[in-house]
Chains A and B, each alone.
Chain A
């Protein structure tokens, strides 16, 4: 495979004797946006937790920039340039936006400057006064704040867990622009979770479909979504939920 930035191979994960991920492999290239889709409970977030190092898989390995990072701890992977955002945009509500930035800048050495934070905010399209309490921001601004904190460290790989949930259409368009810009301009490899198929056609270069912990399809968005197996998995589930 040419030009792989981040990949996982044969990831297996179970809780007790319940398998959550079965032999999952995927990869992302620099500047590529990979969509990760699948119905509720498919194991998307769990796969992210394996990537970041919070969950230890039963089998398989995670590689970044050509090295096996499977044995590294969460903070070591983060320092290597693996950034993620969370499904629910929880921010430290009692801190001001400026304080959140300061904490992120000083998370580890080298400490970043205020200009780096401003740079991150600009690239995340975050236009709020810095003395506002982070808890008073709306969903989208919270997401942007979390993105800005990640952007300023100039990560190599960005894992986004349902960044579009709770946003209205115009906001989703802005989000697409923000993410696309990071990928095109800085060559960041992005993996983006979204359980609404149609949203991915606009932003993803490629998608991987996860169902019950297994990869059931991957390829260009339009190809994948017309795949009968995907339709079956998806609409069956949607019918229930």
Chain B
């Protein structure tokens, strides 16, 4: 099958429309809403990163903030403490995430299932503790850092930047998932033994998925910290943050790339609209409920619901047409 066969002109048109709507958006909505969407863009990046490792391979990471944290802290420290320009600090931070993440996760990829999830969760906790006690003069300790240089200022420019980032990452991941490695990764989630039985080294495949995931997390983390201009360890290494990332990916439709994006927007707006009603962490209870209901009734997520709707409409349309012909 060729790529041209998959990207139909309809798809292309839809994406162009979506892009145009996004470009025009800052003209129509308030800066407050724009800032919410910026967060959604970043959450989508984190969710896609999580999904490329966990959604695809079935190795559920509970420690993604560990990766995001390496990217965010590395770039923040380089630029804030050592006055490294962002053009260098961000790529270096991404590299640091890739190397640091691989060193820690590599042994963990040998263990399966729940244990993998627990170990990654432990990494996140470990990093949270270490950042507070080891060299607080660099990391800012418990209070974090503020006054970090930002890439751009203003809501609209940051909106364009984050949207571009999200879009480029999504497109790259989509291209990757079309390769033979992408197909093999999908197969690992179904039956890892069968994949290795077909002559593929699953350890190398998982490493590949992990490195892609870490790179995306590093990019997201670094750009996020230079958007916020500050870093707060308590918000970053928060189990609720992990939870938001995972539920975004699952709720949207795991292993689909578009799914985690939809999920991230859904979760962000849900969070915002529930804020006045449920100010505290009760919100996460509602998240849990929604995730659970969706998971039981539509394990493939929002994307599957949309596809069902489309098929339903199409079936109705053709039904009507046929009846029209008959009469």
| Chain A residues at the B interface, C-beta cutoff of 8 Å | 52, 54, 73-75, 78-79, 83-84, 86, 90, 92, 95, 98-99, 102-104, 106-108, 149, 153
- B interface SS class: helix
A78 touches B199 (CB 8 A): yes
Tell which of B186, B190, B197 touches A74, judged by Cβ atoms closer than 8 Å. B197
- Chain B 180-210 near chain A by CB (<8 Å), digits 1 or 0: 1001101100110110111111100000000
**For the complex, what is the distance from the CA of A98 to the CA of B1, rounded to whole Å?**
8
Identify which of B191, B198, B202 contacts A104 (C-beta below 8 A). Answer: B198
Bound: A98/B199 CA distance, A:
19
Query: Which of A73, A83, A92 has its CB near the most chain B CB atoms (within 10 A)?
Result: A92
Across the interface, A79 reaches (CB within 8 A) one of B1, B194, B199, namely B199
Number of interface residues of B (CB under 8 A): 17
Q: When the two chains form their complex, are residues A103 and B184 in contact, meaning their CB atoms are under 8 A apart?
A: yes
Instruction: Name the 10 nearest CB pairs between A and B, nearest first.
Output: A74-B196, A78-B199, A106-B180, A108-B199, A75-B196, A107-B198, A79-B199, A103-B183, A75-B201, A107-B199
| Other contacts beyond A78-B196, A153-B199: 5, CB < 8 A | A74-B193, A74-B196, A75-B202, A86-B194, A99-B183
Chain B 153-192, CB within 8 Å of chain A: the 1/0 string? 0000000000000000000000000001001101100110
Most buried by A among B1, B187, B197, B202: B197
B200 touching A107, Cβ below 8 Å? yes
Q: Which residue of B lies closest to A150 (CB)?
A: B198
Residue pairs across A and B with Cβ atoms less than 8 A apart, 22 shown, are: A52-B197, A54-B193, A73-B201, A74-B196, A75-B199, A75-B200, A75-B201, A78-B196, A78-B197, A78-B199, A83-B197, A84-B197, A86-B194, A92-B190, A95-B183, A98-B1, A102-B183, A103-B183, A107-B199, A108-B199, A108-B200, A149-B198
Q: Is the beta-carbon distance between B193 and A107 smaller than 8 angstroms? A: no
Tell me, in angstroms, the Cα distance from A92 to B193 when the chains sit together.
13
In the complex formed, the residue of B with least CB distance to A149 is: B198
Residues of B within 8 A of A99 (CB): 1, 183
Q: Are B191 and A107 in contact (CB under 8 A)?
A: no
Mark contacts of B1-27 with chain A using CB atoms, 8 A cut-off: 1 yes-contact digit, 0 otherwise: 100000000000000000000000000
